Copies of this chain bind each other. A is one copy, B any other.
Amino acid sequence: MNAPIPRVSVLPQPYLLFLGDTTEASFAKTALGLAHWAPDQCVGEMALPGATVSTGLPRITAVEAGEAGAKSLVIGVANQGGVIPASWIDALVAALDAGLHIISGLHVRLASIPALAEAAKRNNRQLIDVRTPPASIPVGTGRKRSGKRLLTVGTDCALGKKYTALALYRAFQARGVDADFRATGQTGIMIAGGGMPMDAVVSDFEAGAAEVLSPDAHAQHWDVVEGQGSIFNPSYAAVSLGLLHGSQPDVFVVCHDPTRSTILGLEGFDLPTIEEVIDMTVRLGSRTNPAIRCGGVSLNTSSMSEGEAAQLLADESARLGLPVADPVRGGAPFDALVEACLA
């Protein structure tokens, strides 16, 4: 039923998902996200002894993955510090020896690890850091581009902007709308097979990077752009505003976690209200698209019962006068959100 995520760039797919020796599902978000959103691009998973997390895909070796057509091993786990522990090196070298490229979204550069650099050279394989932006990103121009764009924005970080964008993209495809998912973070880039790591771009080029990400398209085409951070987040607002200006959305969807009251990791900062985010996004976004409008709201109701969630979605929709849905739950509220975005 689900349309595949488009591969807009050059990551060598399909993937073998590497889980390391992870015992915490929250550290394996990249692998789990890939297995969920791009299962047709994942031939299996590989783990070290001690790992207890699984994506549900077949557990295979690097050699078996290569025989099954895999082109790359994706490091599907992040540990604290974003480093590669010594205990992973032998397995990663074996993957290179089996003919796979390695793809990483960690902070550490793969090529900075001598054993990996040497094995990659010996096997003529690539070490791909998706956090590294492309060279020669231009300064933004603000020029209005053809085609239509949707951006997910948020009251904070890490509350569903990627998931919402992917769900809307899938729903657009299911309705026969020509659309692309435009990834702006590491996991999204791996899912899409390409994109722009917006938080790693030099700030002078931030809007320009977003312009490159969603180029001119035909009039009925939609780019569904993964949002980053929040214009109200005192750490990351620069990323969010450059992305808003450069993606010049026609429609935005506000993503929110109703159980969160303060900015993640910054206890002195209250979360903005949904209305504040709508108002400020319209005011700032109208600089590059005067026709910008809010298509609705995406709520993360994962901590609620089905009845509680349905009530909250209905109450919030009535209060705001907008469609409000949880894309994980789908159903009629999500259909209403999709229709409002496309209207």
Q: Whole-angstrom distance from the CB of A170 to the nearest CB of chain B?
A: 28
**CB of A288 within 8 Å of the partner chain:** yes
The stretch among A78-86, A111-119, A196-204, A318-326 that forms the contact with chain B is: A196-204
Select one of B201, B206, B207, B237 contacting A207, CB under 8 A: B237
Residues of B within 8 A of A280 (CB): 283-284
Residue of B nearest to A272 (CB): B287
The stretch that binds B, out of A36-44, A135-143, A218-226, is: A135-143
Whether A238 lies near B242 (C-beta < 8 A) is yes
The answer, among B202, B207, B238, for a CB contact under 8 Å with A235, is B207
Contact at B287–A234, with CB atoms within 8 Å? Answer: yes
Task: State A204–B263 Cα separation when bound (angstroms).
Answer: 16
Q: Which residues in B have their C-beta under 8 angstroms from that of A202?
A: 199-203
How far apart sit A22 and B336, CA to CA, in the bound complex (Å)?
63
Asked whether A208 is an interface residue with its Cβ less than 8 Å from the other chain, the reply is yes
> Are the CB atoms of B266 and A141 closer together than 8 Å?
yes
Q: A141-B266, A268-B142 are in contact. Are A203 and B235 (CB under 8 A)?
A: no
Indicate whether A239 reaches chain B with its CB closer than 8 angstroms.
yes
Cβ of A334 under 8 Å from chain B: no
Is A18 among interface residues, defined by CB-CB distance under 8 A? no
With a CB–CB cut-off of 8 A, which chain B residues contact A198? 203
1/0 per position for A262-299, CB-CB distance to B under 8 A?
Answer: 01001011000000000010011001100000000000
Cα–Cα, bound, A280→B284 (Å): 9
Chain B residues whose CB sits within 8 angstroms of the CB of A234 once the complex forms: 140-142, 207, 245, 287-288
| A237:B232 contact, CB within 8 angstroms | no
Bitwise interface map of A from 168 to 209 toward B, beta carbon under 8 Å scored 1, else 0: 000000000000000000000000000000111111101110
The answer, yes or no, to whether A241 is at the interface (CB within 8 Å) is: yes
A177 to B268, CA, bound (A): 31
In chain B, what residue has the closest Cβ to A197?
B204
For the complex formed, measure the closest distance between the CB of A197 and the CB atoms of chain B, giving whole angstroms. 10
Give Cα A268 to B287, complex, Å. Answer: 11
Q: Is A27 an interface residue (CB 8 A)?
A: no
User: Smallest CB–CB gap between A150 and chain B, Å?
Assistant: 19
The yes or no answer to A163 lying at the interface (CB within 8 A) is: no
From the candidates B141, B207, B287, name the one contacting A238 in the complex (CB within 8 A). Answer: B207
Closest chain-B Cβ to A59's Cβ sits at a distance in Å of 35
Contact between B139 and A235 (Cβ–Cβ < 8 Å)? yes
Tell me, in angstroms, the Cα distance from A232 to B241 when the chains sit together: 11
A312–B308 alpha-carbon span in the complex (Å): 61
Q: How far is the CA of A268 from the CA of B141 in the complex (A)?
A: 10
Closest 8 CB pairs of A and B: A238-B242, A142-B234, A206-B238, A199-B204, A238-B238, A203-B203, A140-B235, A203-B239
A–B Cβ pairs within 8 angstroms, 10 of them: A141-B234, A199-B202, A199-B204, A200-B202, A204-B239, A207-B234, A207-B237, A231-B284, A234-B287, A238-B238
